A and B are shown apart, each in its own frame.
Chain A
């Protein structure tokens, strides 16, 4: 299909190895090898496999999810800036998570991913429903999404302005997006959530290729545009909702990864989706490695790193384009 895929897989593997070796305690090659085959000291085993490897895999999964969701939303909205956030997913997740953390501070943290997911899905559903007017249109979804996101954002701001300072700080950390505190159960949880929607996205390559032409061309060629758009938005919501619920709000990956991927893979989604996924996973893992090594022992949330590195890089990407 495209040579980029094996190359990206190798880069991802290299980044995983780097993630296992680097940190406030550097691990030698020999110790790493021992840990991988399970013959290192229990302490080393704990650091390399339980902490660093699970965290790296979580970053890979989340990055891939954000990138594929971004690819779908940019295609369906026919807008190169339409990351899944325009569907209200981020704002909805942020609002409900803030409510849980700040207004019900006694609640178990285990509820948080579910609350985030519920907020994401509820907002996406509201955006879709409110933009329905004998069918939907991309531009209406974008406008309603921006409006409702601002509305939810006001709610979040209100909570953070008047909440208990300790709770607000917890909320802010969650909101900034991080793979901090990863463990294998989080990895399994996210994997189970993402596996089917990611596979379905790839199976829908042809539908994505066509819907990008716009309603008239797609409908003229026999696509049931409203139904397909609803289905693809549902996929996008499931993917980014699950991702946001697990790692919080990691910005820019869903925006940049699809752009990088389309430069590498061209316009066909059959290649674009896997390339975007692998690009997103690599980006988020690198961002996390940078975040936890650059000012070690303190850690920057990966979401802050992606925004710091992502914004200038995005400007560079846009420079060469004619149609934005």
Chain B
């Protein structure tokens, strides 16, 4: 594996209870880029993300980090390199934002290691990046959906991993908060060289923000590449079964897709 693809899979098969969801997947995640997985519900996007994060053991095949199979990597070592934010994570009752974010330091501390100034700095920085500093004393359950999502992202940022995997980070957020999260991701990738992989549902947002889009259909890569190359009416029809017109976004010039109602 070259430097450009620190995280990759080879012949990866994934599933639950013997049912195969993802079959023979060979995926390369470009380092220092924002990769977005798109596809229909149930196509295996989240399953792929969970496997990349080490939350789901492969049925077959291998996941590589820096060329080494990740199943040989102790989970704590993996968690220093790869951070993940799954859907539906819930904070325990009564936990404050600051306490949530502190959990992000878990992989960096040994059993008897005390809280260090470096841990403190990482948390402060994560809260600052997500605009959560002023809310750090609030209980997580008292926050709005957008604030809560930012608090969880802050936790993942406090983990200080080079690679960050986000499963639908913008779902259930209003437009302003969606944009805020996507801008934050872009900032992390372009200014700080992080590698981010996210599952997104909004194709136009994917096209505008992603460096690379991976279309997933039935657990396989249908097409992958820069948005300008792969966000085509053909791919949208084949992957989503939706007729769409693709035209340049008047603002960014990235492809913009307009679904055509089937009655037309």
Contact = CB atoms under 8 A, between A and B. Distances in A.
Contacts of A268: 99
Contacts of A206: 106, 109
Given A216-B55, A216-B86, A222 B93 contact: no
A216 B94 contact: no
A38 interface: no
A313 interface: no
B47 to A, nearest CB: 13
B228 interface: no
A323 interface: yes
Contact of B107 (A217, A221, A262, A266): A221
Interface string B79-118: 1100111100111111100010001101101010000000
Of A220, A223, A267, A321, which is in contact with the most chain B CB atoms at under 10 Å from its CB?
Answer: A220
A235 to B, nearest CB: 15
Contact of B103 (A134, A210, A216, A266): A210
Nearest to A80: B93
Interface in A266-316: 266-268
B51 to A, nearest CB: 12
A221 B55 contact: no
B55 A210 contact: no
B89 A224 contact: no
Contact of B92 (A203, A213, A219, A224): A213
B60 interface: no
A212 B78 contact: no
Contacts of B170: none
A262 B94 contact: yes
Contacts of B94: 262, 266-267
Contacts of B103: 209-210, 213, 217, 221
Contact of A224 (B75, B90, B91, B104): B75
Contact of A323 (B76, B83, B93, B99): B93
A163 interface: no
Interface string A201-213: 0010010011011
Interface residues of B, number: 31
Given A206-B106, A216-B89, A221 B95 contact: no
Contacts of A212: 92
Contacts of A267: 92-95, 99
Contacts of A153: none
Contacts of A213: 89-92, 103
A262 B54 CA distance: 32
Interface string A60-73: 00000000000000
Contacts of A216: 50, 55, 84, 86, 89
Interface in A230-262: 262
Contacts of A219: 54-55, 75
A214 interface: yes
A210 B76 CA distance: 13
Interface in B19-56: 50, 53-55
Given A209-B103, A217-B86, A222 B76 contact: yes
A64 B83 CA distance: 38
Contacts of B74: 222, 224
B149 interface: no
B159 interface: yes
A215 B57 CA distance: 13
Nearest to A321: B93
A222 B106 contact: yes
Contact of A223 (B80, B85, B106): B106
Nearest to B95: A267
A217 B106 CA distance: 11
Given A222-B79, A267-B95, A214 B90 contact: yes
A306 to B, nearest CB: 24
Interface string B215-236: 0000000000000000000000
A223 B159 CA distance: 13
B174 to A, nearest CB: 24
Contacts of A217: 86, 89, 103
Interface in B150-182: 159
Of B54, B90, B93, which is in contact with the most chain A CB atoms at under 10 Å from its CB?
Answer: B93
A223 B75 contact: yes
Interface string B228-254: 000000000000000000000000000
A222 B109 CA distance: 11
B106 A221 contact: yes
Nearest to B87: A216
Closest CB pairs A-B (n = 4): A222-B79, A222-B107, A222-B76, A220-B84
Interface of B: 50, 53-55, 57, 74-80, 83-86, 89-95, 99, 103-104, 106-107, 109, 111, 159
Given A134-B57, A206-B109, 5 more contacts: A213-B91, A221-B104, A262-B94, A267-B92, A267-B99
